[in-house]
Chains A and B, each alone.
Chain A
Amino acid sequence: MNSLSLITSCLTLGSTDPHPNVTPSVLYGLGWLYLILFAMNAVWTWKSYHRDCHFRLPEFLGGMGMPNAAVWAMYSIALLLVSVTHLTCASVPEALRWFVMPDFAKSAIDFVVADARRYFAVTTFGFIGMLLLRNWLAKPSVGWVLLNLSLLFLCVSLTDWDFRQIVGKPDNVPIVAMLFIVGFFTWLFFYRANENDRRSALGKGPIEAENNEKVLTWPDLVYTEMICMIAVTALLILWGIALQAPLEEPASAVKTPNPSKAPWYFLGLQEMLVYYDPWLAGVVFPSVILGGMMAIPYIDFNKLGNGYYTFNERKFAITTFMFGFLPLWVGMIILGTFLRGPNWNVFGIYEFWDVHKLEALNNVNLSEYFWYGIGQPLPMAPAGADFWTQAPYILLRELVGFVAIGVYLGVLPMVMAMTVFKKFFLRMGFLRFMVFSNLVLMMAALPLKMVLRWAVNLKYFIAIPEWFFNV
């Protein structure tokens, strides 16, 4: 290890590139990552051998029956070879050029993610695809393949300097971990929900109702808790030793770092601030999110799915909640953490954070669209007018915006009550339905404004900077 770090420092000193993509220490570290991946897959191979069925080789290969585990075994051996190559040849980066993310793939991925529009489209369609393909995705082997693909993607991407900068920041490491954890639990949910949905189709009760005898808390629960506590403590200590908590320069009230980010769990809100003014994105929407979450039990009239996993019995509730949690909350955190760079521009994950990257951001208000559209100037009060003289002019100027918001929050719920949500309306009653529909519409207001911003550069529906009232 010592000689290796010596080689590393020599190479770093000797190289002219200040941002080297591959260094011996990176390759050496990757070797260990591949070794872990090998170990995981070796265990999986063993389980597959005992559990999975066989497949038949094509005729030209002999047409024999083979256990599925054979494929996993070959894959594991390949990983072992890759790992050993990394660990032994780390000082000769040229030998490992096949395990580096190719440039064309980098530019292709950057092309997709380095643009809020495409990023949002990918997460939204990914979400819809996940719901449609849930039966296939929730198979253990598919889940395992997905886990392997994402880990391989991480390993290969780590050979990029810019990627390492953004992912390796100590405060960002938990977010990377969170992605895998949230992904795992979402997979686990679908796995269990599908099983219950299949049972329900056969007229059987949920799996949670079977073998559900009472057991003594000591030892069954108390020991589980103790093991969890020990595991969490060990994890925290290891994490604390491996990664030092960040401490930047002493606070300075005049030097704003570029970019300047809120704590990571609020980056969803900070992302909202790009589209809505602080009074909405910073005050009203967070309150609505909290109030709306508290209102969930009083809105959801569906008695099914209480105390067990299911998707089919609660399609609407779970789809709505997951859409809020996955693409809108976690997705926006990823966007804010990994993709927002200097000047709050969007950068690809392999892109250098260039402070001088330019992005045109010229936006137009709805009132301007309207008045210029009908060939009129904006209504304006005579200069020096007092508040009460100005007010009618301002309201007239923004009339179309007020009408739009009024229709959206006032009329649309009634239309919904008469059409798509007719059943909901009948079961909920007026007050409950109005609360429900307004919450849904407010949740939809964020993606709606994002799309309008991107499609027609819309800045505000209602723009009254004079009263700090911009919507």
Chain B
Amino acid sequence: MAATSLIWLLDLARFMFPNVLVEPPTKFKIGPASDYPLGGVSTKWLAARGVWIVHTDQYKGRNLIYALASVCTHLGCTPNWLEGEQKYKCPCHGSGFYINGVNFEGPAPRPLERLGIKLASDGQLEVDKSVKFQEEMGQWEDSNSFVDGALA
């Protein structure tokens, strides 16, 4: 009796998980690296795709271009890039991140996440939203999480 009820309950839970999702493709091209000069945060893809393209040498002194997911690591609001103060500031609970994505104020527990980025065969940069790289796990060393800033 108890076992049967449990099976029914689990089946019910499984039923609530859809098998097919209708969501936009995760890979997209963002143009040549030269569109992204050093020291800039591009908000060009923010509205459509939810990423910032960052070109900075402020993370461990290396000149890199990478894509940051515009999802606050606290509760998933979209932070605003404040050009004047050179930081991402989340409107929900005031978390702040440096230009390189590392958190420094407010309740966010960890840095913003990088997304996959690579140089496609046609010379354009391509972002892959299906993979993510977390700084605190040491994944920002992964070569799929950035491209060389000298390309720009």
Q: Contact flags (1/0) for A458-471 with B, using CB distance below 8 Å?
A: 00100101101010
Does B132 have its Cβ within 8 Å of any Cβ on chain A?
A: no
CB-CB contacts below 8 Å: B23-66 with A: 46-48, 50
A258 and B80 form a contact (CB under 8 A): yes
Chain A residues whose CB sits within 8 angstroms of the CB of B48 once the complex forms: 254
Residue of A nearest to B135 (CB): A465
A344 and B94 form a contact (CB under 8 A): yes
Chain B residues whose CB sits within 8 angstroms of the CB of A468 once the complex forms: 109
CB-CB contacts below 8 Å: A251-301 with B: 253-260, 270, 273-275, 277-278, 282
Chain A residues whose CB sits within 8 angstroms of the CB of B93 once the complex forms: 270, 273-274, 344
Shortest CB-to-CB span from A42 to chain B, Å, is: 48
Query: Roughly how many angstroms separate A258 CA and B94 CA in the complex, as a whole number?
Result: 10
Q: Which of A255, A361, A383 contacts B106 (CB 8 A)?
A: A361
Shortest CB-to-CB span from A217 to chain B, Å, is: 41
Query: Roughly how many angstroms separate A430 CA and B75 CA in the complex, as a whole number?
Result: 38
Does A362 have its Cβ within 8 Å of any Cβ on chain B?
A: yes
Query: Roughly how many angstroms separate A259 CA and B96 CA in the complex, as a whole number?
Result: 14
Q: Which of A253, A277, A344 contacts B109 (CB 8 A)?
A: A277
Residue of B nearest to A271 (CB): B93
Shortest CB-to-CB span from A348 to chain B, Å, is: 17
**Could you say which interface size class chain A belongs to?**
20 to 34
Q: Which of B74, B77, B89, B105 contacts A362 (CB 8 A)?
A: B105
B109 and A465 form a contact (CB under 8 A): yes
B89 and A343 form a contact (CB under 8 A): yes
- Supposing A254-B78, A255-B47 touch, asked if A470 and B109 sit within 8 A by C-beta, the answer is yes
Q: Which of A256, A359, A383 contacts B92 (CB 8 A)?
A: A256
How many residue pairs link A and B with beta carbons under 8 A? The number is 74
Chain B residues whose CB sits within 8 angstroms of the CB of A219 once the complex forms: none
- Supposing A258-B80, A361-B96, A361-B105 touch, asked if A342 and B91 sit within 8 A by C-beta, the answer is yes
Does A61 have its Cβ within 8 Å of any Cβ on chain B?
A: no
Q: Which of B74, B85, B105, B138 contacts A278 (CB 8 A)?
A: B74
B94 and A256 form a contact (CB under 8 A): no
Residue of B nearest to A257 (CB): B91
B75 and A278 form a contact (CB under 8 A): yes
B137 and A256 form a contact (CB under 8 A): no
Does A345 have its Cβ within 8 Å of any Cβ on chain B?
A: yes
**Could you say which interface size class chain B belongs to?**
20 to 34
Shortest CB-to-CB span from B106 to chain A, Å, is: 5
A343 and B107 form a contact (CB under 8 A): no
- Supposing A256-B92, A277-B109 touch, asked if A384 and B138 sit within 8 A by C-beta, the answer is yes
Chain B residues whose CB sits within 8 angstroms of the CB of A282 once the complex forms: 75
Q: Which of B50, B91, B92, B94 contacts A361 (CB 8 A)?
A: B94
Query: Roughly how many angstroms separate A434 CA and B37 CA in the complex, as a whole number?
Result: 61
Shortest CB-to-CB span from B117 to chain A, Å, is: 19
Query: Roughly how many angstroms separate A363 CA and B85 CA in the complex, as a whole number?
Result: 19
Does A420 have its Cβ within 8 Å of any Cβ on chain B?
A: no
Chain A residues whose CB sits within 8 angstroms of the CB of B70 once the complex forms: 254
A254 and B50 form a contact (CB under 8 A): yes
Chain B residues whose CB sits within 8 angstroms of the CB of A361 once the complex forms: 94, 96, 105-106
Shortest CB-to-CB span from B67 to chain A, Å, is: 15
A258 and B106 form a contact (CB under 8 A): no
A273 and B91 form a contact (CB under 8 A): no
Interface-central residue, B85, B104, B109, B136, by most chain A CB under 10 Å: B109
Chain A residues whose CB sits within 8 angstroms of the CB of B77 once the complex forms: 256, 260
Query: Roughly how many angstroms separate A133 CA and B81 CA in the complex, as a whole number?
Result: 50
Chain A residues whose CB sits within 8 angstroms of the CB of B47 once the complex forms: 254-255
13 A–B pairs (Cβ distance < 8 Å), ordered by A? A256-B92, A257-B91, A260-B91, A273-B74, A273-B93, A275-B107, A342-B91, A343-B91, A343-B94, A344-B91, A356-B85, A466-B137, A468-B109
The chain B residues found within 8 Å of chain A, CB to CB, are 46-48, 50, 70, 74-75, 77-80, 84-85, 89-94, 96, 104-107, 109-110, 136-138
The chain A residues found within 8 Å of chain B, CB to CB, are 253-260, 270, 273-275, 277-278, 282, 342-345, 356, 358-363, 383-384, 460, 463, 465-466, 468, 470
5 other A-B residue contacts (CB within 8 Å) besides A260-B77, A361-B94: A253-B50, A254-B47, A345-B94, A356-B84, A361-B105
Closest 8 CB pairs of A and B: A258-B91, A361-B105, A344-B94, A256-B78, A465-B110, A465-B136, A260-B92, A256-B77
